[in-house]
Structure formats: structure tokens, C-alpha cells
Amino acid sequence: MASPFAHYLKRIEHALKAGNGTEHACQPALKALIEALRPQLIATNEPQRIACGAPDFIITHDGIPLGYIETTNIGADLDEAENTPQLKRCLGSLHNVILTDHLEFRLYRDGERVGSARLARVQTSGDLRISANGAEQLILLLDAFFDARAPVIKTPRELAERMARLARLIDDLIRQTLGHESKPGDLHAQYDAVRKILIPSLSVDEFADMYAQTIAYGLFAARCNHVGSGFMRELAGKDLPKTNPFLRRLFNTIAGADLDERIAWAVDDLSGLLAKADMAAILEDFGHATQQTDPVVHFYESFLKAYDPKLRELRGVYYTPEPAVGYIVRSVDALLKREFKLADGIADSSKIRLKRRKANGKGEEACDSHRVQILDPACGTGTFLHAIIASIHEQFSGNPGFWPGYVAQHLLPRLHGFELLMAPYAIAHMKLGLQLKESGYDFATDERLRVFLTNTLEEAHEIAGLPLFTQWLAEEAAAARDVGKNAPIMVVVGNPPYSGHSANKGEWIEGLLESYKQSPELKKPAQAKWLSDDYVKFIRFAQWRIEQTGHGILAFITNHSYLDNPTFLDMRASLMSSFDDIYVLDLHGNGKKKEKTPGGGKDENIFDIQQGVSIALLVRRTKRASRCTVRRADLWGGRTGKYAWLADHDVLDTDWEDVTPSAAPWLFVKQDERLAVEYNQAWSVADIFKPNGEPAPGFATQHDEFAISFTCDEARRKVEQLLETRSEAEARELFSLCAQSQWSYDRARAQLPLVDLDEAAIEVLYRPFDTRFSVYDRNVLVHRRERVTAHLLRDNLALCIPKNQESSGSAHFDGVFCADRPVELNLFRRGGAFVLPLWLYQAEDLRNKGAAERTANLSPAYLTALKGAVGSMRLKPEDVFAYIYAVLYAPGYRARYADFLKRSFPRIPIPRSADAFKTVAALGHELIALHLMRETTPSITKFPKAGSNRVEKVEFVPDPKHPEIGQVAINDEQFFQGMPRSVWEFTVGGYPVAHKWLKDRKGRLLTFDELKAYGRIVGAIDETFRIQDRIDEALQDTLGIKARGARRVGAR
């Protein structure tokens, strides 16, 4: 055996006999072996670095990492070690790794084991038994390890994925370092700075993510600019473009020579990867842009997909397709020319004389400023700014000599972008810098790109007295704020982020937002929550900015909910007050609403998101108009078709339709004014069921797995199982329980033993036609909503309805059901089931099962109006309820008032006569009996095969000869036969009832009673269609309501 191995084994054996076979005791011997075999290499073992997640050894040559070694105690199970989080992290991120217990060595390349060698085994005596040819095998393995060279990367996708793996490792190291670092450390100082200046709510995990991504992209941008060989992390800051002095300073701080050594080793591995990459081939690919793909952003999205797929959604990193960007940029250019008489449009270089406050704050001074200043307040990776530069550059075709001077004097000074997240900010600088360089502009001057790292929705901070790193951030934010508040911005463009749970709650933007919340309805708790979405705040910021300038254009692509949602009525009124012309191009594609084209065809989103989107172009003229004109166009169909249309059009040749609203709620949609008057004369169900107060939703368990059961016994047993647990951790392993902020394990353990479970177990309506069981106690049903639910513990009837169609998540109005028991909030697909009980009981009678008086929850004013139509006829509350229920199920009613039903609680017309009321109410009673399963309907399906009855799949298979009939398979052997397609597709509140009922029972063995119940549900739905047809006839004949092209979704 070669002497280095003999010496190594002697030291290992000595450690074993001393009773110390730990990895720490053996590591010096391993270090000596490696450095003896390859004297030019250094094996570094740094305990502080290891404590934060680094491998035990980093093997370097001239400071460049070659590979990593992870050690265990002698005799440890290496198979188990492979599955530890530490090793999984290393194997998933690092190219060249050895795992060893000091006797067996395993070599891994990019996470795959490619070789192993055993030097010796430990005998029972404690002596080592040398393995035959072990030394020779280990020499071969170590040679492969020492001589490994990471493959030269030549494609953007491969580089993005390799970078992402290392960035993920850096992210983890930053978290661990923050955990080990004392509070005054550099990392904590930087974390505090980012929270103070940019994102006050930033968590440690979010900071680590931001930091890791910025390091990865800063290095990438530096490598793109690096000339020659010798690319190193310590010098990378000098390779970043001079167009961004802040990024250079920032990067020198977070990844320069002073980078914490607990993180530096992984960053060095990343810089080594970039040093070897074929950047010429990669950058050449970046130039191959297509209509829908920006290669630089595609690279970033590939990176995010490998780094953390969830982050793409979380960060809203959805690259705006070029056709949509092009439509907006061309439209802005056209509007500048037409409305403001600027012949050069977005390329305009003219200046205006204006006054501004002096830098010392004392008095004003005159200055010249470009007239057409453009801002993207959420510029992300710079997509819109890139398109604007490209559009302007086209105008210099044939005159390239003018271009450099124009860029320096008239382009860079008036093009501005704000971005909150460091990685997209770095990418924007890189992308725009590359674009201008390729266009022929040389950044030899100190002129910077005016893309700033800042929070658009926050005010600037005082700089004096802040730590250095914090000062740099504050200076960058202050420069941005000077643009935002003082530059005469004439055009605001972009695609602001959508975030319903906005973290931007600063006093300044919230103050501006108050003008969107003036209506009394929006002053009520939680009624204005959708106005807190980030995209709304960005619209409000842009509106304010244009108002400050006095004239200009706002051009955004955003969520389209504000166009017709009732919550946004004051927002629409405010926009109409601020602007003279509003152009809305609704691109639709709302997967949440299951939007279809007007012809019933497929409608796709231009983004990979569920939320529908629209383009808005808002113009505030220099000379204001007497009233605002709102114009609208709609683009339906497939994504490819929408792209093609957008690529070929702009605001001038779009077929606009005037939809200017004349009164609240100021909808930006086409309306039949006569029909609107007719509909608004009817009574809102919210006003009909008024005595119990404002409509309230059903109960919310916050932990259905624990609180909702298929049987009464199961409901009781779950409570007993919870009480048997010995700790909250054990209980949370058993059930997916509510958050601690809303539910207390200790309180539940103390109070539930006092509950009579036989008395407290109740039936609840969980989903349409789906009754379940629960325990009526706040420790089980966390939010019982007793103002409504308590009345349903007694003999009662309730109307279940969403506030509007969107709330139910259906493509058409179908959110209507009835209940005679407590109702769960998510009765409909998107939740929000409001429950309107017919009867109200006195407080002292709510839990008493004896005789009790009750009053009808019907508005006296409504009953008076109804009495005026039916004359002397006695109105029974049950008949009134049945009349309302029947109207809401009429296909003709749903079709005629489809546009209005999308937006608020439905309205019920007053009947023309007592006979009309009687006829419709009688049909309503039939429907109610069917939906409460009080009527036994004959089953129209058969269940022909015996078997396990286990629901393993749920699939509708149409009959080849009669596709409108089919069978519904629940496993490979069993099925329901004779299922009408119309019944299968019938929906209530967005749920396809026949499908949903079975799907929710996947994995269960259906009992005889459940099989029979399903047959009755199918029969009830089939009979519902027949009653709907009769209601339609009654409404047309006796109420004068004629269907306008009624579309019977789900009907036969």
C-alpha cells in the first residue's frame, strides 16, 4: 500500500482504539492524506463555516474550489447520510462531492453517485482489515475527484438551472448565518436596512431569498460585462456596468472581498461556474427574441423555476408578452401625437421651463425639463422600458450618427423605472445596458440608467445618521422619490403587481387611497378589502402623479376586476374625475370566472394566470373636457389569436364602443340602460331579508379535516381523539388544525371535555346536496357566525347565495341553494356563501328544543310592496321564500339579467298578480323539497356491478352512440349507468354537483345508503330541469319577463 494511505490508516486505527472514531477526530488525518496525495491542493476545514451548512472540507487550487467532502463518524450508515437535509442540499447544488465515513468513499457528480471505493473495514476487535485493491480503487476515485472539471455551459437554460441550484444553497447558508450571527453583525445590519428603506414586513427567509438572488444575478451581470479571463467574485463589482453606481456599491458590500466566509465559499463556486461558462454563446442566444419571449426574462423565469417554482407566483414574475407591451407603447405614442400635438410622440425631445424647490429647501429656482418624461413604477425586469427604447431607436434608422447624442441628452434623462426587488432590478439594468450597447451607445460617460431600487408606494427616508449600507439604499430611494414627486412625469406605463394581501400599507399611499372609499357601503368593516390590492394602489399612485403634472397618459395592463366589481365604484368615479378619456381593452381570460367567448368557445389568458386582465389607457388633456368619455373594446378567444391581434393594432384602429356610465356604480362595461332601470326597480335579497341585519356568511371551521365528518360517530370520535393527544404537536400531526392566532389547543383541551358530544353533534350543509356532521362548539367550529347559524339549529329555512356571481366562481349565475341546517362558508366553489334565514328566534329559545315563537326575517317594506301586487291574498312567509327561490332558478331570469347578477346580490321582481305569485311560489316549493332531499325522486341511473364500492376515480364516459348519456366510473370495475350529460354538468355555485359529491369521497367505501343518496341527487337534478322550464313559462306568461337568448348551462 502506498505510504500516504498506510499513514492515514494508522492514524484512523489509533483514533478507533482510543475510543474516538468521530468525524472530528478523523478529519485531520483526511486533510493530511489529501494534501499528501496532491501537495498543490488545500483542504480547508472551517468549523464556523461548517456550523452554517458548509461541507466539512472545501478542496481548492489557487483559491478556486475543485470539490467538497462531507464526513461522518467511522462506520456510519452512508445510505442514511445521503438522505440528510445537509447532504441533499450539497448534492443538489454542488458539482463535485465526496461522502465518506473515512473508510468508504462515495463520489457524486451533480447529485448522482458515480463511484465508490472502500479502503478498509472495522473488525469486532477494533482493528482495521484492509480491503483488497482498496488503495488502488481509492486513488482512481480521488484522481477523478481532483481532476473533475465542471462542463462548460453553453445554453441559457442550463446556466439558469445550475445558477439556481447554487443560489438555493446560498439562500440556505444566509438563513443559517443569520441564525448564528450576533445582532450587530453585518448581515443583520443589511437586513435591517432593507426592512427600513424598502420592505418593512420583510422576513428573514424573504431577505435570504432576495440576497441570494441578487448575488446570483449580480455575478451574472458582472460576468456578461467581463472581458478576458480571471473572473472572480471579489472583483465582480468592477465588472458591473457604470450605468448603475448603486448596484456596484451594493454588490461590493454583499458579495465583495468582505463577504462573510460562511457564505463566500458557495458564492465562489457560483463565480467559478460563471467563469467557465461560454458567455459568447449564451449572450448570442439572448439576441434571439421572439414575439412572446424576452430571452433575458425567460432566463430569469427558468432560474426561478429551478430555484423555487412557488416564488414565480409569489413574486408575480409574469413577463408581459411583447404583443401587449407593443400595443401599449404604440398607443401611448399615438395619443401623444394626437392629443398633445407632439409630432415625435415618445421620442419627443422638447423641453419646458418650470420652477422647482431649491436643493436646500429655501425658495424656488427655474429649470429646464424634458416635456415627455416616462415612468414605469413597477418596472420589474425592464420590459416596458426596453420596448420604448426599441421603438424610439427605430426612428433613427438611417441616421445612426444621431443616436449616441440623443441617448445621452434626450433619452436617459427622461426614462425612469422603479423596482422593489433586487434581482429584477439588477436584470433590468443588465438588459437595458445590453440593449443600448448593441444599439450603438457607449456608456463612456457617467450618465446612469434611471432605474431605481425603491418602494414606489412608500415615502423617502431621511439619510443623515443611517449606517453606510442603509444610507446607500436611502440615497437610491431618495433619487427615485425626487423623480416620483418632482419630475413632470407625463406618461406612466407598466404592469403593476397583483397582490390581494398587500404589504404596502404606508400612511401616504393609504391616504391617497381614501378617495376610492367614499361610499357608505365601503366604510363598513372588510367591505373595501379588494381596494387594498397592490395594482389598485399603483393605479392610484399613477393617477396622482399625472394630476401633479397636470396632464398626461396612464397606460397599464392590470387585473380587470375594477371594471365592473361593485367594490370599485368610487375608484371608477375618481378616475372619471381625473381623466378626460378612458380607453379600456378587456383581454378577459378569467379562469376564476370560467370565462368563455360570447359564442361559448374557449377564452384564454395572455398570461399564465387565472385572473383576467385588461389594458387601460387614460388621458388627461392639457385643456380639460367637460366630462369624461369611457370607451371599451373586448378581445376574446385563444392566446395566439389575442397575441396576433395586439401585435397588429393600437388605440387608433381599435373598434371602441362608448360605454360612458351616467350614474353610480359607474361601470366600465356596456349596459342596456332600459334593462338596468327595469332590474333596479326589483328588490335586492339583501333588503328583503333585512330584519336580521346585513347579510352574513355561513360558519367557517378553519380546519375542515378536524371539524367536518361524514357521520355523527366520526364527528364525536375526532373530538375524543384530540382529547387523547398529549401535546399540540401531536394533535397537529393527527389533524390539520387552525392557526394558533384563531384557535387554542390548551383551551380546546380544557373546554371540550365539558361538552355533551351527543347533544352538540349536528348536521350541516357542507356543499350543495352534501350533508355532513360536526360538533357545534367554538373549539371545533372556530367561526360559528351565530347571528345566522344559531337560528338554523331550530326549524328553519335559509336562502344561500353569493354576494355576486364572481364570488361563486362560476361562468354563469348559479349560486343559489337552500338549507334547513347550518351552512358552511364554502358551500360555493370560491366561498362567500351568504345565509339568509327565513325565521328568527328569540335569543333565549335558540338552544331550547321546546316550543318557541318565531318571526319572519322579511322586510315590512318589501311585504307592503308585494301586498300591493297580490291584493287581499294572505302572504305566508314560506310562500314568499318559495317565490324568491323559484325566480332565482329561472333560466330566463338568469339570462336576461346576467350582466347585473355578476355584480351584487340578485334582485327579485314584484309579480303582476296574485295568480302569478301563486304559480311561481308553487314551483318554488317543489324545488325546495327536491334540494332539501325531502322528496323521493326515482333514480334515473343504475349501479349494475357489485364490488368494493371504493371511489378510486371519478370519470364520465359518454356512450359512443348517444353521447348525451354516459356512465360514471368510480373504479375500474364499478360505475353508475345512464347518467345524462346535462345532470353531470349541472352546477351550483361553480361546483358540478354530481362530480363534486363523488370526488369528495375518493378513497371511501360507499355504503348502501350513500349509493342510494347519490341516485336521489341525480334524480333531483334531473327533475330540477323540468321545474326550471315550468318556472320560465310562468315568468314569461304572468310576470312579463321574457328570456333574452337564455343559455341553459348544464341543462338538457
Mean local confidence (pLDDT), 911-922: 93
Q: What is the pLDDT of residues 948-993, one digit of tens each?
A: 999 999 999 999 999 999 999 999 999 999 999 999 999 999 999 9
Q: Where are the alpha helices (DSSP H) in 745-859?
A: 745-751, 757-760, 786-789, 805-808
Edge-to-edge strands, sheet with 834-837: 696-697, 834-837, 798-801, 817-819
CA distance 441 to 432: 11
CA distance 901 to 1048: 15
Distances (CA, A) of 416 to 384, 492, 845: 11, 10, 66
CB 685 within 8 A of CB 885: no
Looking at residue 1046, what is its pLDDT? 38
pLDDT band for position 642 (cuts 50, 70, 90): very high
Looking at residue 929, what is its pLDDT? 97
Residue partners of 339: CB distance under 8 A and separation at least 6? 553, 581, 619, 621
Kindly tell me if the per-residue pLDDT of 308 is higher than 80. Answer: no
Mean local confidence (pLDDT), 188-203: 82
Mean local confidence (pLDDT), 7-19: 85
CB 951 within 8 A of CB 998: yes
The cell for 943 is 349501479
Looking at residue 317, what is its pLDDT? 53
CA distance 149 to 451: 38
The single-letter DSSP state of residue 411 is: I
CA distance 662 to 650: 27
CB 753 within 8 A of CB 722: no
CB 361: neighbour CB atoms within 10 A? 6
Among 670, 593, 578, 577, smallest CA distance to 632 is for: 670
Residue percentage of the chain with pLDDT more than 70: 91
CB 796 within 8 A of CB 737: no
The cell for 323 is 404583443
Element (H, E) at 63: none
Q: Between 150 and 437, where is the model more confident?
A: 437
The cell for 301 is 423565469
Helix (H, G, I), strand (E, B) or coil at 439: helix
Grid cell 481509492 in the structure block, residue: 138
Mean local confidence (pLDDT), 265-291: 76
Kindly tell me if the per-residue pLDDT of 446 is higher than 70. Answer: no
Mean local confidence (pLDDT), 275-301: 70
CA distance 550 to 947: 75
Mean local confidence (pLDDT), 488-505: 83
Looking at residue 463, what is its pLDDT? 46
Looking at residue 812, what is its pLDDT? 83
CB-based burial label for 355 (10 Å; 0-12, 13-18, 19+): exposed
Grid cell 443583520 in the structure block, residue: 188
CA distance 1051 to 81: 60
Looking at residue 503, what is its pLDDT? 65
Mean pLDDT (the chain) is 87
pLDDT band for position 353 (cuts 50, 70, 90): confident
Looking at residue 311, what is its pLDDT? 63
The cell for 329 is 407603447
Domain boundaries, the chain: 3-146, 153-315+362-494, 320-349+498-663
Q: What is the pLDDT of residues 594-615, one digit of tens each?
A: 888 998 899 999 988 889 999 9
Q: What is the pLDDT of residues 450-496, one digit of tens each?
A: 999 888 987 655 544 555 567 777 778 778 888 888 889 999 999 99
Looking at residue 1041, what is its pLDDT? 61
Looking at residue 460, what is its pLDDT? 55
CA distance 548 to 550: 5
Look up the CATH number of domain 3-146: 3.90.1570
Whether the model clears a pTM of 0.85, i.e. scores above it, the answer is no
Main-chain phi, psi angles of 42, to 5 degrees: -125, 130
Q: What is the pLDDT of residues 355-384, one digit of tens each?
A: 777 766 677 787 889 999 999 999 988 999
* E strands, 885-929, in order: 907-908
pLDDT band for position 297 (cuts 50, 70, 90): low
- Chain centroid to CA 931: 36
- Helices 204-225 and 422-439 pack at an angle, to 10 degrees, of 20
Residue percentage of the chain with pLDDT more than 90: 52
Helix (H, G, I), strand (E, B) or coil at 646: helix
